[in-house]
Amino acid sequence: MTTTILDKLIARAETGLSEGAICSDDLKQPTWSLDAEDGQKALPAYGAGASQWDKAPAATPLQRQIPARYRQMERTELDRRIRSAKEALGERLVILGHHYQRDEIIQYADLRGDSFKLSQQAASRPNAEYIVFCGVHFMAESADILSGSTQQVILPNLAAGCSMADMANLDDVLDCWDTLGRIFGTNSADAGKQPVLPVTYMNSAANLKAFCGEQNGIVCTSSNAEAVLKWAFERGERVLFFPDQHLGRNTGVKLGISEAEMVIWDPTKPLGGNTLAQLQRAKIILWRGWCSVHQRFNVAQIEKARKDYPGVRVVVHPECPLEVVQAADEAGSTEYIIQAVEAAPAGTILAIGTEVNLVRRLQAEHPDKKIFCLDPVICPCSTMYRIHPAYLAWVLEGLLEGQVLNQVKVDPKVSHFARIALSRMLAIK
Ligand code: SF4
């Protein structure tokens, strides 16, 4: 197997030739070293990268080992096979590539974007029978929910989940909902408003989106979280926001809600780890979830960037902790960050706080600007990293042989209610 660009970066870091170190030696292992062998019931971990120390729930989908011939194939041979399968499948296939995918995958994507944009774009390709989503599990679910009934969505590596999405599961959310129902009842003190309104981030399982759909709640993305929370407060006295506490807190602060009016709900503790008085005071109940990629950024990195590069513009993702967002010049979604870089005049120095694959790509695409990742350590999203060209070649050649491998199919009832929550979001201008 020949090496990939990320492999080369990792190798350079090891020999001290790159400015960055790697966050884990496991990145030197082949991607499939964590795939499940026959009979294996649980994943040992998410894989190498930022979330590898997060606890992977037992229900996390497993990826069985793909045939040895794909694992052993030279990169040039994989490339030839992927291109040939794409050509043979023509309009019947669309490959979606999330911005956090490695370059070795992005080069095959027909469409690039963040999770929601990609799902919408997939829905606008009705001729595509097969939607191959090079991203993570909740994204493939959203594509299945938003695409046509004859379209089939494929995730090349089923173990490409999302550690943040996995931090909130339906059982725990239902327990929390019952407790909040007992505390706040079903009748609001404020006429016409629901005592608690659920809001889920796009980065959540389909059954949680469906839960929001059924409970008069809504979905948000990192681009529209502010507008969605305003919508929610027009209809609810308080909001239960999951799974990302940081996006919820950052958005709450933007809306003028104080930190004292936001509490964390830890599903392992009675009352989520709060007193009754704290819950009664809360405007937003934030689920105890986070993105391990964005949680790596800190204020010291920003201070160093400002010291090393006076005049640097610091742009971070709102999944970063509040103090990081407040120390940065701007915070915005992945699409916002890309547009900020594109619109910046030549010579601008930008320090970016988001996933390293996207930052490296922006660096390569904008040689007239100085762009660097705030985190000096090379630490990709563990689960995005699970998608490697070998899996893509495997699923595409499966399609040529009439086999749909790794299909992600959402239960019709779940899909129905999840679509309601998504439609509410889309109706907000
Ligand atoms: S970057 Fe964070 S939120 Fe996105 S897929 Fe990876 S773990 Fe999940």
Any idea which residue has 């790159």 for tokens? 18
Amino acid at 57: P
**Rounded-to-integer distance, Cα 184 and Cα 349, Å:** 50
The rounded Å distance from CA 109 to ligand 1 centre is 19
**Rounded-to-integer distance, Cα 194 and Cα 206, Å:** 23
The rounded Å distance from CA 98 to ligand 1 centre is 11
CATH 3.40.50.720 describes domain 5-161+384-409: no
According to the model, what pLDDT value does residue 329 have?
98
> Is residue 126 pLDDT above 90, yes or no?
no
Ligand 1, atom 6: closest residue by C-alpha: 381
Architecture of the CATH domain 294-373? 3-Layer(aba) Sandwich (3.40)
**Predicted confidence (pLDDT) per residue in 38-78, tens digit:** 767 666 678 889 998 888 888 888 899 999 999 999 999 99
According to the model, what pLDDT value does residue 224 have?
94
CATH 3.40.50.10800 describes domain 166-290: yes
The rounded Å distance from CA 24 to ligand 1 centre is 17
Q: What is the mean pLDDT of residues 166-175?
A: 97
What global pTM score does this model have?
0.94
Q: What are phi and psi of 164, to 5 degrees?
A: -65, -45
Ligand 1, atom 3: closest residue by C-alpha: 291
**Rounded-to-integer distance, Cα 27 and Cα 322, Å:** 29
Q: What is the mean pLDDT of residues 11-16?
A: 46
Atom of ligand 1 nearest to the CA of 291: 2
Atom of ligand 1 nearest to the CA of 383: 6
Tokens of residue 401, six digits? 């042989």
What are the residue ranges spanned by the domains of the chain? 5-161+384-409, 166-290, 294-373
Angle of the 5-14 helix axis to the 356-365 helix axis, nearest 10: 100
Domains 5-161+384-409 and 294-373 share a fold: yes
For residue 291, give every residue at least 6 positions away whose Cβ sits within 8 Å of its Cβ, in sequence order, or none. 163, 164, 203, 244, 246, 319
**Rounded-to-integer distance, Cα 65 and Cα 43, Å:** 12
For 18, the 3-state DSSP assignment is: coil
For residue 300, give every residue at least 6 positions away whose Cβ sits within 8 Å of its Cβ, in sequence order, or none. none
Q: Best mutation site among 138, 157, 242, 292 for ligand 1, i.e. most ligand atoms within 8 A of its Cβ?
A: 292
Residues at CB less than 6 angstroms from ligand 1: 51, 100, 136, 162-164, 203, 291-293, 355, 381, 383-384
User: Are residues 267 and 241 in contact, defined by beta-carbon separation less than 8 angstroms?
Assistant: no
